[in-house]
Amino acid sequence: MDFQKLSVFFFILSYSIFCHLVWNGCYNAHSCSETEVHNSLYNTNKKTQNTKLVIQNNIKLTRRKTMGSKTSPCPILPKPIKSIFHLNWFRKSPDLFPISIQLYSMFDEKNNTLGFILISSAIFTIIEWMYIIYLLSRLLWDGIIKPIFKIIYLIIFICVLMKISVMFLPYTKSYISQDNYQYISSMVFSFYNITSKLYTDFGILINNAIKDDVGHCIINRE
């Protein structure tokens, strides 16, 4: 069973690397990057119609110089979604650079196959980002949020325990000696007063911080 899982894992990994190689081959063949494609797509609305025509002509000339008259446009994903295999350490590797262009050229005439491979690369990239977000959320939960909740639960437990101790302490007077009762009661009341003061000071601090934030927001709006 473990061998089957390992085989499936390595098959999926190999296929994903193959898809990323074809994806990178498109950018290597056209000598462009995601940033350039993003700029040409999302910044054209800030330019005049003449500038748009000049950019389109430049892109067409560049494609003709690199791949000939018939080329396929490079795919793009929304920022900042990008696979680690789309970075320059993998894309511009001297060993993988010619391989990526050759693989892309093999499927350039087969639009359906090329489209399926590029879509697979995009899907693997999204899965990769989902896994990274999952790991970061687990790290955030186990490293920061969970310890904070434990501290809050501990504080609440101590406060409730102290209140219950103060409430039921007089009923224990007949079961213990006078000296022990005075010693225990002094400790309990001292600790209760300290925790009550800390709780009050913390509440005042939080209220002041909220008031300052609200005041800054009102001033900024005005």
Block means of pLDDT (10 residues each) for the chain, length 222 residues? Answer: 82 92 91 81 58 50 42 74 89 91 87 89 94 93 90 83 78 74 78 78 79 64 58
Same domain, 130 and 153: no
Residues 35 and 119 in one domain: yes
Per DSSP, the three-state class of 126 is: helix
pLDDT score recorded for residue 156: 82
Count up the domains in the chain and report the number. 2
Look at residue 123 in the predicted model and tell me its pLDDT. 94
Q: Domain span at residue 27?
A: 2-135
The answer to whether residues 125 and 160 belong to one domain is no
Instruction: Tell me, yes or no, whether 144 lies in a domain.
Output: no
In a domain, 59, yes or no: yes
Domain boundary residue among 101, 135, 169? 135
pLDDT of residue 68: 40
User: Do 206 and 107 reside in the same domain of the chain?
Assistant: no
Q: Please report whether residue 83 resides in a domain.
A: yes
List helix spans (H) across the chain.
2-30, 34-42, 49-67, 88-91, 97-106, 111-140, 146-168, 178-221
Gap between the Cα atoms of 167 and 160, Å rounded: 11
105-to-29, 95, 115, 124, 204 alpha-carbon distances in Å? 8, 17, 13, 22, 68
pLDDT of residue 63: 45
Kindly state whether residue 8 falls inside one of the protein's structural domains: yes
Q: Quick check: helix, strand or coil at residue 75?
A: coil
Q: Are residues 153 and 130 in the same domain?
A: no
In a domain, 77, yes or no: yes
pLDDT of residue 132: 93
- Per the domain annotation, does 142 fall within a domain? no
**pLDDT score recorded for residue 155:** 80
